A and B are shown apart, each in its own frame.
Chain A
Amino acid sequence: MNCQDLSRVLESRDVNALTADERHACERHAASCPHCEPDWVVFTRLAAMPAPPMPQQLTVRCEALAVARLAGNERRLPGWVVSVGAIVVVAAAAMLIARLMSAPPKIGVQGSIPAAIVPSGTPAAIGAAPGAPAQGLAAREPSDRTVTVTLQLDQATDDATGQNFGQRVYERAREELRMLPGVVLLDADSAGAAMPAFRITFTNLSKSGGSFYLGSDGLVAFPVKGDEQLLVNALLYLKVEALPPGAADASVYRTGITAFVPVECIGLRKDRCPQARTGNYLAPSDCATYFILSWYLQRTPPDPRLVDRLREMLRDSSTPAPLWQMALASLSKYRKLRLDASGLLAAANRVVSADPALAAELARSALSGASRSDLAAQMQDLLLRELPDGSRPTDSALRKELVLLLATDLKNEPAARGILESVAANDPDFEVRAAAKRALGTEVPSTSFIGPTDEP
Chain B
Amino acid sequence: MPDSGKTQFDALVMAHLPVLYRVAYRLVRNAADAQDLVQDTCVVACQRLRELAATDFPLRWLLRVQQNRFIDGVRRKRSSPLVAAPDTEEAASPIGELLDPELLLQRAQDEELLEQAFLELDAVQRTLLGLRIEGYDLPEIEAITGVDRKVLSKRLLRARRSLMRHLMELKQAAQGGRRAGSNP
Contacts and interface: CB of A to CB of B under 8 A. Distances in A.
Interface of A: 7, 10-17, 38-39, 42-43, 45-47, 49-55, 57-59, 61-63, 65-67, 69-71, 73-74, 201, 203-205, 207, 233, 235, 237, 239, 248-250, 252, 254-258, 322, 325, 354-355
Given A45-B111, A54-B17, A254-B36, A39 B82 contact: no
A111 B18 CA distance: 32
B9 interface: yes
A70 B9 contact: yes
A71 B129 CA distance: 37
Given A10-B160, A11-B153, A235-B83, A62 B13 contact: yes
Nearest to B32: A203
28 contacts: A11-B138, A12-B138, A14-B137, A39-B164, A45-B110, A46-B118, A46-B163, A47-B132, A49-B91, A50-B94, A51-B25, A58-B39, A62-B13, A63-B14, A65-B43, A70-B6, A70-B9, A70-B46, A71-B2, A73-B5, A203-B87, A204-B87, A207-B112, A237-B84, A254-B36, A255-B80, A256-B82, A355-B81
A256 B167 contact: no
Contacts of A13: 137
Interface of B: 1-2, 5-6, 9-10, 13-14, 17-18, 21-22, 25-26, 31-32, 35-36, 38-40, 42-43, 46-47, 49, 80-91, 93-94, 110-112, 114-115, 118, 129, 132-133, 135, 137-138, 153, 156-157, 160, 163-164, 167
A42 B111 CA distance: 10
A221 B121 CA distance: 31
Contact of B5 (A57, A70, A354): A70
A242 B131 CA distance: 31
Contacts of A54: 17-18, 21-22
Contacts of A67: 2, 6
Q: What 10 A-B pairs have minimum CB-CB distances, sorted nearest first?
A: A14-B135, A70-B5, A69-B46, A47-B133, A54-B21, A258-B83, A12-B137, A52-B90, A66-B9, A51-B25
Given A55-B31, A237-B32, A252 B114 contact: no
A324 B17 CA distance: 41
B38 A62 contact: yes
Mostly, the B contact residues are helix
Contacts of B114: 42, 45-46, 49
A49 B111 contact: yes
Given A51-B91, A74-B5, A69 B47 contact: yes
Contact of B14 (A11, A39, A46, A62): A62
Nearest to A205: B85
A74 B1 contact: yes
A42 B40 CA distance: 31
Contacts of B43: 65, 69, 250, 252
